[in-house]
Amino acid sequence: MKKINTVSIIVCALAFILSLIVFSLFRTTDDGTKVIKVGFVYDGDESAPYTYNFIRAQKAVAEEYGDKVKIAVKSNITDEYAEAAIRDLVSEGCDLIFTTSYGYGEAAKKLAQENPGVQFCQATCSNANTEPFCDNYHTFMGEIYSGRYIAGLAAGLKLKELIDSGRITADMAKIGYVAAYPYAEVISGYTAFLLGVRKQVPEATMTVIYTNTWGEYILEKNTAERLIKEGCVVISQHSDTIGPAVACEEAKVSHPVFHVGYNDSMLDVAPTTSLISSRINWTPYITAAVGAVLKDKKIEKCVDANVYGNDCAAGFDRDWVQMVELNSYIAAEGTEELIEKATDDFNKGRITVFKGAYTGVDPFDPNDTIDLSKGYVENEKQSAPSFHWVLNDVITVEE
């Protein structure tokens, strides 16, 4: 009996090894083209604008590469379960894994060290070029501060229209911002937005409330409602749900309220209040990275971007940043032309967003301050935003 069991075990082991060899031999299409497996890890699903923005790129991969690529997806993965989800994709045979939430960065890099044969591409992080360096770990992000600035220009022109028509006074030009966390990415975004607004209405100020979550609909909606009740005329967000847009559409207050979104158009849920949105277009990077792995080439050699080691960034000029669906029914006259000019100015390097008679302070270190009189160049050395100072006098952070 023992001999029979031993023989059975040996036979099973040989069969398993043979299956792996056969699998590797047949990872090609009928015409002999290489086939790879690509994994995606999402912190939401299609119902969240942030995640759906990546799903667009995932669908583009499927359309462009067809049967050359097999796709595996892990959705609704919170940060604490990121490592387990990524390990699952590795064990499922993924050759390339895209991790799409800032909170996944540490786990993704750890697993890159453990699995040098798998390529890992992490969105929104800045740890690709830090020690320990991994040749198979990459980061990428669009220069979204430029999109937020232009959205601010559009919102500012609307505020100016409201002031000129007598619907509000200049001292009522208050912006409310539903922010996820006090990270540089978030601070950079809402600062760029406000500076865009103030190009049109220099009296405008901003109140920021952090939700300390990326995507809780009720919390984001309630936060927006609170800001509206405090007198904010424009609500914008760096959060992943449509909650703030719905709050603006449902607002029942004496002053006008308008919304500026992120990641996707929100006109379907806020048709009378949602003015415009901006988004990162992840498709150029993700499709290029897949193509690089298919050809066994280094990813950064195949991506049309500003390259910093194993890190890539780009803006409007390479279609990595886009403005999304201006609501022409409520936008101020001249908004479309303003957007076109500002986009062209960004493409030609004519705009320095973070510049003016402003000072700021790091919310975690009062000794870390900045004076913007000479300007600050965002995304100068990395794809992830680095501007992390809260501007004095014009931005108030509420608990």
Domains of the chain: 27-142+282-316 (3.40.50.2300), 145-279+322-398 (3.40.50.2300)
Query: In the chain, where does DSSP find H-type helix?
Result: 2-25, 49-65, 82-91, 105-114, 145-164, 184-200, 217-229, 243-250, 283-294, 299-302, 335-347
| In the block, residue with structure tokens 């415009």 | 276
3-state secondary structure of 131: coil
Q: What is the pLDDT of residue 365?
A: 98
pTM recorded for the entire structure: 0.91
Residue 46 has pLDDT above 50, yes or no: yes
3-state secondary structure of 48: coil
Q: How confident is the model at residue 32 (pLDDT cuts 50, 70, 90)?
A: low
Q: How confident is the model at residue 29 (pLDDT cuts 50, 70, 90)?
A: low
Q: How confident is the model at residue 33 (pLDDT cuts 50, 70, 90)?
A: confident
What number of other Cβ atoms are within 10 A of residue 179's Cβ? 22
**Average pLDDT over the chain, rounded to whole?**
93
Q: How confident is the model at residue 22 (pLDDT cuts 50, 70, 90)?
A: very low
In this prediction, residues 328-347 reach a mean pLDDT of 98
In this prediction, residues 278-297 reach a mean pLDDT of 98
Please tell me the distance from the alpha carbon of residue 286 to that of residue 9, in angstroms, as a whole number: 43
The proportion of the chain whose per-residue pLDDT surpasses 90, expressed as a percent, equals 90
Residue 74 has pLDDT above 60, yes or no: yes
Q: What is the pLDDT of residue 30?
A: 54
pLDDT tens digit sequence for 220-272: 999 999 999 999 999 999 999 999 999 999 999 999 999 999 999 999 999 99
Residue 387 has pLDDT above 70, yes or no: yes
In this prediction, residues 150-164 reach a mean pLDDT of 98
Omega of the bond leading into 132 within 30 degrees of 0 (cis): yes
Q: What are phi and psi of 129, to 5 degrees?
A: -100, 10
Please tell me the distance from the alpha carbon of residue 4 to that of residue 33, in angstroms, as a whole number: 42
Residue 36 has pLDDT above 70, yes or no: yes
In this prediction, residues 154-176 reach a mean pLDDT of 98
